[in-house]
Structure 1
Amino acid sequence: MAIPEIDRATARRLAVRAQLLDGGPPAAGLLPVVRHLTLLQLDPTAVIAPNADLVAWTRLGAAYRPEQLQQALEQDRTLFEYRAMVRPMADLPLFLPEMAAWSAPGADRRAKYTDWLRANDGFRRYVLDLLRERGPLPSREIEDRSVVPWPSTGWTNNRNVTQLLEFLAARGEIAISGRSGRQRCWDLAERVYPTVPVHPDRPEGPAEQAQREQARAEAHRLRQERTLRSLGIARGPAVGEAGQPVRVTDTRGDWRVDGELLERLAERPFEGRTALLSPFDRLIHDRRRMAELFEFEYKLEMYVPRADRRWGHFALPVLHADRLVGKVDAAADHRAKLLRVHAVHEDEPFGRTLRSAVRAELASLAGWLGLTGVSGW
């Protein structure tokens, strides 16, 4: 059967609508947004606002407040933090098989981790007992009782407490209960999650291993389907064989699309809007997809030497309808209560209407941040 072909405009509109960035009905609240997007990426960078908050604002506008995310994570427990991502608690079952298999025999890519955990089993038991007695705790309040230090050529070298906490969280033995400022607070997973993974306390037979691997593969498949639904169109390991194949005019290779979203796009005409995107927004997270579908050149230049920057320290891509049309380099100056615009780069001439729309978005962003105005543009 011949693989159907769609043009770039259709592919872009599918991606924009899947990410809740079109001009359709606004989302009902934070939880439905995260359920649809499947995740909010956490990043400590806050030139304007933390990424998770900025992404939520882009979808929800002034109705969203950062306190809502904190309440969902720490009080309502409708969301959870796992591996620098905020995810719906309803999706936890899709990650439990991965947690349970994290240190399973035969997982040779994790052999270094499991060997280190085995050598530091006393350290592990000390941390679990400490959290059981005193948790939740930040890492700075946990004593380093490692017998074998964590070896690394990078920044994690000898960061034994941090590494142990990350590994125990990956195994589902502990979880992030909340935050104190920017510091993560850790607790036993059973106090955070409604259910926790089961780690076998004895070697598993072939039948048990096969059953566990089957559960893991099924959960992985469902995650790929959820990911594709949130992206609309994609390719690669993140989506695997989810959805259906499609070709996009003037691009190479096959893509995967969510067939239901494609049908809805044909049924309901696309309505565009203007939006300022976080550099970590999932619409542009896959830079190759961004370049092929949107024909947009972009790089986060925060770590690029000032003299070598083209667009600025923290440039926000500008989405207009189904096109990425420019970048706005801006920063929140809370002392002066201003959103300072350092530069505006027009990949396509903005024109009066688009300039007005971008100004309105900047004013809306400043108001949401509690700033009194916009300066510089």
Structure 2
Amino acid sequence: MVLRLTAEQARRIAVRAQLLTAERPAGIVETIDALTVVNIEPTAAIAPSADLILWSRLGWPYQPADLVRLVERDRAVFEWGGFYRTMADLALLLPEMRRRPESIQAREWLAANDVFRRDVIARLRAEGPLHAADIPDAAQVPWRSSGWTNNRNSLQLLEILVLCGEVAVSSRDAAGRLFDVADRVYPADVPVLSDEDAARERAQRRLAALGVARAKAAQSPEPIDVGEIGEAAVVEGVEGEWRVDPAALEAGDGFAARTALLSPFDRLVFDRKRLTELFGYGYLLEMYKPAAQRRWGYFALPILHGDRFIGKLDAKADRKAGVLRVHAVHEDVPFTEDTSAAVHSEIERLAQWLGLEVTEASR
């Protein structure tokens, strides 16, 4: 049987799954566990993406130093594939790590540089954690690429070894990531799962985090499709079939709405196709566009109000001046007086969390 969801039901399932209702989660680990992944994008026009994502869920109690402690000291959270994840999910990733690297080019390059690989592992064992810049480039065969990784052999090797699970990101500092041998970062007593069991549980957790998702979706840095997990459903006004989390259906119709300012890399908005289909919301991150071609701003934050996206906040943190400069609040639909008050209250809360004062900046 195929379930039939109204557009409002689908939106509310998605928002609730992403912990963006007034019922806030209890802590950082619980939040990352429910979201399954938190994007690590260091651009800090306002704040790094991971901090914005966690603040938008937890509110003022969240402090970046607490995340650093959980990663570097408690080892309750780790970094892999460009995302923070709870250490409890390591077992689900180990089968994928064993299959890495996936590309023929990377496998052949790794085999050709086996001496280099063993030397780097030995150096990390003896001296780690280390930055990529601390490791001499002794590659037998250079890495060839048309992008920024071309001939950056030490960094490229470390990246591949992290994906393979031989090396892990131990911490970060002002100079970037510090790498170490994996057994000094990851626990030793990790359950061994088959590829099939791990893939199934990852899909189940992914659907719980998304609420409603496609069985198949375009490739992305972190999968957004869920296969045949969950219940089949159609959404009013949207073509095609979806999968919906059964637990989300059991949650009922209660929905505690609030207003939230989201990172452009937030999981709720990252899949732009899904964002358009479910929310009718158009968004494009414009930090890579020339200033004259930007419509909403360098790092505009999507504005969620209840179960609808209603606009974008164009703002920048000027920490030297101690202010959050608000260049514009773009209204996708005209704000009511109450909506405007809710949005500006959230901007004030963002500024307070950053330790800044809000100021309106002239264009």
Question: Normalising by the residue count of structure 2, what TM-score does the alignment of the two structures yield?
Answer: 0.94
Q: Deviations over 1:161-186 (max 9, x none)?
A: 11100111111111000012251000
User: Where does 1:92-107 land on structure 2 (aligned, <5 Å)?
Assistant: 92-103=90-101
Misfit runs of 4+, over 6 Å: none
Structure-1 residue corresponding to 2:285: 300
* Aligned equivalent of 1:321, options 294, 306, 313: 306
Aligned to 2:103: 110
Q: Does 1:154 align with 2:153?
A: no
Counterpart in the other structure of 2:6? 7
Show the counterpart of 2:200: 221
Q: CA deviation at 1:224?
A: 1.0
Contact 1:100 1:197 survives alignment (8 Å): no
Q: Are 1:42 and 2:35 matched, yes or no?
A: no
What SS does the corresponding residue of 1:342 show, helix, strand or coil? strand
- Per-residue displacement from partner, 1:87-134 (whole Å, max 9, x unpaired)? 00001000111112225xxxxx52211111111011001101101100
Q: Is the 8 A contact 2:18 2:209 kept in 1?
A: yes
How large is the Cα RMSD of the aligned pairs?
1.6
Letter in 2 for 1:366: A
Count how many residue pairs are aligned between Structure 1 and Structure 2. Answer: 354
CA displacement at 1:371 relative to structure 2:
0.8
Structure 2 residue corresponding to 1:247, chosen from 230, 234, 238: 234
- Tell whether 2:350 aligns with 1:371: no
Which of 187, 193, 203 is 1:194 aligned to?
A: 187
| Contact 1:97 1:197 survives alignment (8 Å) | no
Larger displacement relative to structure 2 (214-223 or 73-82):
214-223
Contact kept in structure 1, 2:310 and 2:332, CA below 8 Å: yes
**Kept after mapping to 1: 8 A contact 2:91/2:190:** no
Q: Which segments of 5 or more consecutive residues in structure 2 lack a partner in the other structure?
A: 218-224
Aligned pair 1:256/2:249, yes or no?
no
Matched residue type, 1:165: L
Tell me, in whole angstroms, the C-alpha distance in 2 between the residues paired with 1:151 and 1:43: 25
Tell me: CA distance 1:254–1:54, structure 2 relative to 1, closer, same or farther (3 Å). Answer: same
Deviations 1:205-245 (A, max 9, x none): xxxxxxx9x81122112111111100101112531211111
My pick for the range that moved more, 47-56 or 217-226, is: 217-226
**Is this contact kept in 2: 1:247–1:255, CA < 8 A?**
yes
Which string of whole-angstrom CA distances, capped at 9 and with x for unpartnered residues, describes residues 18-72 of structure 1? 0000122x21111100010011100121100000000000001110000011000
- C-alpha contact (below 8 Å) 2:315/2:326 kept by paired residues: yes
SS of residue paired to 1:284: helix
The residue that corresponds to 1:63 in the other structure is: 61
Matches of 2:251 and 2:68 in 1, distance apart? 34
Q: Give structure 1 stretches of 5+ with no counterpart.
A: 104-108, 199-211
CA apart distance, 1:282: 0.7
Structure 1 residues 35 and 197, CA, compared in 2 at 3 Å: closer, same or farther?
closer
| 1:257 Cα deviation from its structure 2 partner | 0.6
Contact 1:123-1:146 at 8 Å conserved across structures: yes
Q: Which has the larger radius of gyration?
A: 1
Alignment identity in percent? 49
Corresponding residue of 2:210:
231
Question: Structure 2 CA distance, aligned partners of 1:192 and 1:370?
Answer: 33
What's the offset of the Cα at 1:197? Answer: 8.9
Aligned-pair CA distance for 1:343: 1.1
Contact 2:42/2:48, CA 8 A, preserved across alignment = yes
Output one character per residue of 1:250-279: Cα deviation in whole Å (capped at 9) or x when no partner: 11100011011122033xx11110111111
